[in-house]
Amino acid sequence: MKTKILLIAAYVALTLAGLLVSRPALAVQLDFNISAPTSGSVSYDGTGGGLIGTNIEVDNAVGLSTPANANVTSTCLSCVLNFTSGAFVNAGGANTNNNGWWRFGSGGTITITGGLQLQGASDIPLGSTLLSGSFTSAFVQDLGSQFKVTFGSFTDTKHPDLLAYYGLAPGSPFEGALTLLFGSANTGVGDAFSSTSVFSGNVVNAPVPVPAAAVLFGSGLIGLALRARRIRLTV
């Protein structure tokens, strides 16, 4: 089981890295990275509420193709991701391997709080709100063998010092995508689940309007669950 977790987590990280840094013409993005293993929890209570993520550790932030400090990684200081999506919409896709899905609507909130160690600039202090926004949608796919992957889209704003460091205009609105791999026992499709085994993930942002690269990123996430499942089947 531990080998499967490490392989799937490594695959998620490598897939995200390829999507984010392999394109020479990549548009401006601000990304927050979550490396395995990490603390925190993901849950749904099964009664029609939202998908909830609580105190998920965030490791660093990086600006890609930003006007200033492009590709410079800023280390997170006690950063945590918290979110509550909009209400449960529907579920389906069950089969003999329990590979079902849960869909959630718009609303709710997403935040990343903490500090950032900025190279060559004053640090953003602990307890700061680095990202604050609301979900447009969220989706959970059951991969079987007690793994699930979460996808979400949202709109948000950033801490002004973070924007200034990467050369972006104060108050710039962003649209973003969230992905998290976590472990959870198989349950009936649409039923409650809860996990404190959160593995790798990523929070990707692009200034509004969303460029083509961000759309491609979202398309890549859709195939992530299927590819991760293929890894599980070959282990």
Integer Cα distance of 179 and 206 in angstroms: 15
- The parent domain of residue 22 ranges over 2-234
State whether the Cα torsion 90-94-97-99 is positive or negative.
negative
Q: Hey, what are 143's tokens?
A: 């991969």
Of 212, 56, 44, 235, whose CA–CA distance to 140 is shortest?
Answer: 44
Bridge-partner residues for 198, per DSSP? 38, 182
Number of domains forming the structure of the chain: 1
At 138, phi and psi to the nearest 5?
-150, 155
Integer Cα distance of 74 and 76 in angstroms: 6
Chain centre distance of CA 104: 15
Distances in Å between the Cα of 169 and the Cα atoms of 160, 172, 219, 229 are: 8, 6, 28, 41
pLDDT in tens, the chain (235 residues): 444 444 444 444 434 443 333 333 458 999 999 988 889 999 999 999 999 999 999 999 999 999 999 999 999 999 999 999 999 999 998 655 557 899 999 999 999 999 999 999 999 999 999 999 999 999 999 887 778 999 999 999 999 999 999 999 998 899 999 999 999 887 788 899 999 889 889 999 999 864 444 444 444 444 444 444 444 444 4
pLDDT of residue 147: 87
At 218, phi and psi to the nearest 5?
-60, -40
Report whether 87 contacts 48 (CB < 8 A): yes
Q: What is the pTM of this model?
A: 0.79
Nearest 10 degrees: Cα torsion 64, 68, 72, 74: -100
- 3 state SS for 195-227: ECEEEEEEEEEEECCCCHHHHHHHHHHHCHHHH
